[in-house]
Structure 1
Amino acid sequence: MNPNPRQREGRIGTAGAAGGLTIGLFGGSFNPAHDGHRDLALAAIRHLGLDYVWWLVSPQNPLKSAADMAPLEARMESARAMAGGHPRLVVTDLETRLGTVYTAETIRRLRQRFPRLRFVWLMGADNLATIHRWRDWQRIFDDVAVAVFDRPTYALAALGGPAAHRYGAARYHGNARRLLKSAKPPAWGFVTMKLNPASATALRAAARAQRP
């Protein structure tokens, strides 16, 4: 049975008080969440040696249209269902409660709020390919370690993109990726994993097609 929201947020408070833990920050719209999200989160725990992964369900991605965005609580429930009550996967609306919109700002506020924790930003290869369009994107790399996970058809664009070139010297390869959690930024790695073709866009299109 999934823990209730208070229990989920209790995990965050406990982690912040304990200190010495490394948290993977997995941000997104989760509109809806799918098993590709879960695969990435579990791969992050396995490959990087993380203690928890926090799924940061965004109130509204500034690069995406609000017209096709489900309400926040519906997306939270979708993420909770996909996390499946896993004890190391925590679904949260921290961005809404912090009042942040942009990833760089969210990371800065979380580092201030939880100074005893280490954070690693997690994202798919599709995001690495376009992260140079995000506001203050360089601050993300300069503030926390970054782990990028392979996604179907995106690897070449991601590894050939502006961010990968700018921070090429800071890339950790192979087994060295496990050192990311204690590395001084900028530090990032590309994680190959079993590719999952699941797509929130495709799921929304399929849902629309089934409507009368």
Structure 2
Amino acid sequence: MKAGFPFLRPGMTVGLLGGSFDPPHAAHVHITREALRAFGLDRAWWLVSPGNPLKERGPAPIAARMQAARDIMHHPRVTVTDVECRLGTRVTAETIACLRELYPGVRFVWLMGADNLASFHRWRDWRYIMETVPVGVLARPGDRISARMSPAARLYGRYRIAASDSHLLARSDTPAWCFVNVPMMDISSTQIRASGGWQA
């Protein structure tokens, strides 16, 4: 394994939660813990991205966001990493392709909030993502209906795994996705920045 990359054994199931984490907050922690439980994951990674191509405003410096993420996310099976910077990838599809090459035999699962599923069809190569790794979707307040009616949900409707079988997701053949309703914290990084509560 390349220096600076977390160690993983073949056969492990690893959830990937990507984002700018600008700033990271308690809802990120909550959704990660729920994903570990709901999808029966061995590990979860926070992929702190260089920047989100869909957002006009650039994020705070990655060093500040990495430190803030490590300060708030305390779990023995969760790793905060800047792997996208190390790989030189800027979009999720590229990151997944590189990780699958670096970690043969590891079962990666892409994790997202229901709000992201609603706009998933705008992501570059989003069908590649759906057809390459299982996708775990966790509901947030107010996002359930729009997510379930989204183009991605409709197109891949027959590949949806029932929430009662969510623990099977990580080892399912792709395409496969699962939508689970969990008690969610109604907070976002945008709200924190707007309130002046985040100073990198």
TM-score normalised according to structure 1 size: 0.89
In 2 relative to 1, CA 176–207 (structure 1 residues): closer, same or farther, beyond 3 Å? same
Cα distance in 1 between the residues matched to 2:127 and 2:38: 24
Cα distance in 1 between the residues matched to 2:95 and 2:82: 12
Task: Find 1:117's aligned residue among 99, 103, 106.
Answer: 106
Aligned residues: 197
In 2 relative to 1, CA 114–102 (structure 1 residues): closer, same or farther, beyond 3 Å? same
Whether 1:63 aligns to 2:54 is yes
Where does 1:187-198 land on structure 2 (aligned, <5 Å)?
A: 187-198=176-187
Task: Provide the residue aligned with 1:73 in structure 2.
Answer: 63
Report deviation, 1:208: 6.7
Report deviation, 1:78: 1.5
Whether 1:180 aligns to 2:169 is yes
Q: Deviations over 1:58-113 (max 9, x none)?
A: 0011011234x2111111112111212x1111000000000001101110110011
Gaps of 5+ in 2: none
Whether 1:28 aligns to 2:15 is no
TM-score normalised according to structure 2 size: 0.94
Q: What SS does the aligned partner of 1:31 have?
A: coil
Task: Provide the residue aligned with 1:3 in structure 2.
Answer: none
In 2 relative to 1, CA 175–205 (structure 1 residues): closer, same or farther, beyond 3 Å? same
- The percent of aligned pairs where both chains have the same amino acid is 48
Where does 1:32-181 land on structure 2 (aligned, <5 Å)?
A: 32-67=23-58, 69-84=59-74, 86-181=75-170
Q: Which runs of 4+ in 1 moved over 2 A?
A: none
**In angstroms, what is the RMSD of aligned CA positions?**
1.6
Q: What SS does the aligned partner of 2:79 have?
A: strand
Counterpart residue identity of residue 40, structure 1: I
Query: Higher helix share goes to which structure?
Result: 1
Gaps of 5+ in 1: 1-5
Report deviation, 1:19: 1.4
Counterpart residue identity of residue 101, structure 1: R
